[in-house]
Amino acid sequence: MTTEVVIVGGGIVGCMTAMELVERGIRVTIVERNAIASQTSGESSWAGGGIIFPLLPWSYSEEVNSLTRNASQSYQKICDRLFKETGIDCGFEQSGFLLLPEFDRSKASTWCDSNQVPYEETKASYFGVDSPNGQDSLFLPSVCQVRPPFFMQALRKWLEQNKVKMIEHTQLLPIKTTGHLNSWKSVNGEMFEADKFVVTSGAWSYELLKEVANKLQIKPMRGQILLYKPDRKLINHIVYRNGFYLIPRKDGFLLAGSTLEDVGFDPSVTEEVKAELALKAEAILPELKNSPILKHWCGLRPGTPENMPTISSHPHIDNLFLNTGHFRYGLTMAPASAKLICDLMTHQVPLINPESFTLKE
């Protein structure tokens, strides 16, 4: 008999997990509170910038970097496949990453050397950007990006084509079970039965599981971001300075973000942040003063205290799995964390040692 899996949450982590399970011959249903591949009330995946690189990897653990590295290496292949099979271009491009000072030069170059990530010390002015204090910047040419809304649409279409059931506008209730989970109830009283369940509910994961996983530390961390379309292309590469980045898109749009705000489940944007982000953007590209801000949105990241996701079976509920807490690098890591959780669910040799991502009792 074919195994049936119910995935709770249809963001990038849920959709990539579904894709990986389908590849392993497993029947999948995704249950999503809102609509998959859309942005309604703070879902993080649609809202993200799409940099396929964990910003400053030298500040993350080796375990996190190992998964993001594995995932980054597979992105182009996934995007090519999605384009071939769905006709949707995910906006994948190798746009490079220019890191402006101040940053820890020695940590950055040591990390790049030991991870075979090419880099060059360079003047930011070569890239059309003012060089703060005249100090050299660091350019990492291999860093890539995708367009999260396009990537999500392509994934959604691929899942539809591959017979994944998508139950939308259906919110599941918190669970209290111990031992084995036979079914999961929705707010409207529907019961979803499956052999196995996977929680990929992003920032909302702890709310769903607090009765059965009180050690799971995930809370929403809001990120606001702005969209411009300057009259001419001002930069060709992602530019990063002190927690703030600019991402140029192929078609001339430019993103400026983002914030890291601990404000609970509040999916609203604020005028103060809009002004703050615009000032930071204009400090790097003064011409942006003449460009209107076309859009301003936010997403609620699944934040964790140690920047460590949970990719694990549940310690007591034998058919419950968690793939959540991807904080600032979920778009980057999703393909690899999907592989890892599916390895655990199907008793395969895990992609990497899962110990650091395991939910403790």
Binding stretches for ligand FAD (CB under 6 A): 8-14, 31-34, 43-45, 47-51, 171-172, 200-204, 208, 223, 225, 257-258, 299, 301-302, 324, 326-332
Q: Which is nearer to ligand FAD, 119 or 184 (CB)?
A: 184
Q: Which is nearer to ligand FAD, 93 or 133 (CB)?
A: 93
Gap between the Cα atoms of 335 and 74, Å rounded: 8
Q: Which is nearer to ligand FAD, 264 or 286 (CB)?
A: 264
Q: Which is nearer to ligand FAD, 26 or 325 (CB)?
A: 325
Helix (H, G, I), strand (E, B) or coil at 189: coil
Rounded to a whole number of angstroms, the minimum distance from the CB of residue 89 to ligand FAD is: 18
Rounded to a whole number of angstroms, the minimum distance from the CB of residue 125 to ligand FAD is: 25
List Cβ neighbours of 252 (8 Å cut-off, separation of 6 or more): 229, 230, 233
Gap between the Cα atoms of 217 and 206, Å rounded: 7
Rounded to a whole number of angstroms, the minimum distance from the CB of residue 133 to ligand FAD is: 26
Query: Residue 172 carries which DSSP code?
Result: B
Rounded to a whole number of angstroms, the minimum distance from the CB of residue 325 to ligand FAD is: 8
Radius of gyration of the chain (CA): 20
Q: Which is nearer to ligand FAD, 248 or 299 (CB)?
A: 299
Gap between the Cα atoms of 140 and 245, Å rounded: 14
Task: From 193, 222, 197, select the one nearest 212 (Cα to Cα).
Answer: 197
Strand order in the sheet with 293-303: 120-122, 137-140, 97-99, 238-241, 244-248, 254-257, 219-228, 293-303
